[in-house]
Amino acid sequence: MAVILMLAYGSFADQVDKITRMEKSTTLERVVKFCDVIETLYSRDYFRKSTPWDLQRLLQKAEARDFPGIIGSIDCMHWQWKNCPTTWQEDYGNRKGQKNIILKAVVGFNTWVWHAFFRVAGLQNDLNVLGQSPVFNNVLRDEASNISYGINNTIYWNCYYLAGSIYPR
C-alpha cells in the first residue's frame, strides 16, 4: 500500500509512514523491490524498442483494421504535478502557471506501449515534445523500414502514426 501511495500521489516515504506505519527505509526498500518486479515481468515484452518482426505484426493488424501503413497511435498526455519540488517550479510550469509533466507515448493495437518519452524541462507544447523525442530519429537518419501500401490508388512509402488533438484547429 505504501508503494502504491508513493507512486500514485508522488509522495515521499516519510509522508506515507503515518498511514502505513512503516519505517522510511522499509518503504524505500519496497519501492525498489516493486520496480524491480515490474521491470522483470514486463521488460521482455514491453519495455523495449520495436523490432522488424514487431513492425510487421503491427502493420498486418493495421491492414486488417483498414488502416494500412499505421504503426500505432501517438499522443502526449499532460499531468498536473501537485508535489513539484520548489526548485523545479519554474522549469515545469505551463502558460497557465500550473506545474505539469508531459508523457509522449506510441501504443500499438494490442495496447503495447513500445515508445515512451517524458518531456524535458521548460515550457513545452506537444509539437515541441515530438520534435525532441527520439521516436523519429530513424526517419531523419533515413533508417526507417521500407514499406509500401496504397490508399485511393496512391502508393505511400513511409509508415505513419495516428495522432489526435496535437494540431491547432
Burial class of residue 10, CB neighbours in 10 A (0-12, 13-18, 19+): middle
- Give the pLDDT confidence of 73-93 residue by residue, as tens digits: 888 877 777 777 777 777 777
pLDDT at 49: 72
pLDDT at 167: 56
pLDDT in tens, the chain (169 residues): 777 777 777 777 777 766 777 777 887 888 889 888 988 887 777 767 777 788 888 888 888 888 888 888 888 877 777 777 777 777 777 777 778 778 878 887 777 777 777 766 665 677 777 777 777 777 777 777 777 888 888 888 878 888 876 555 5
Residue 113 DSSP SS3: strand
Kind plus residue range of the DSSP H or E element containing 62: helix 52-64
What ranges do the domains of the chain cover?
2-42, 52-163
State the CB neighbour count (10 A cutoff) for residue 102.
Answer: 19
pLDDT at 159: 80
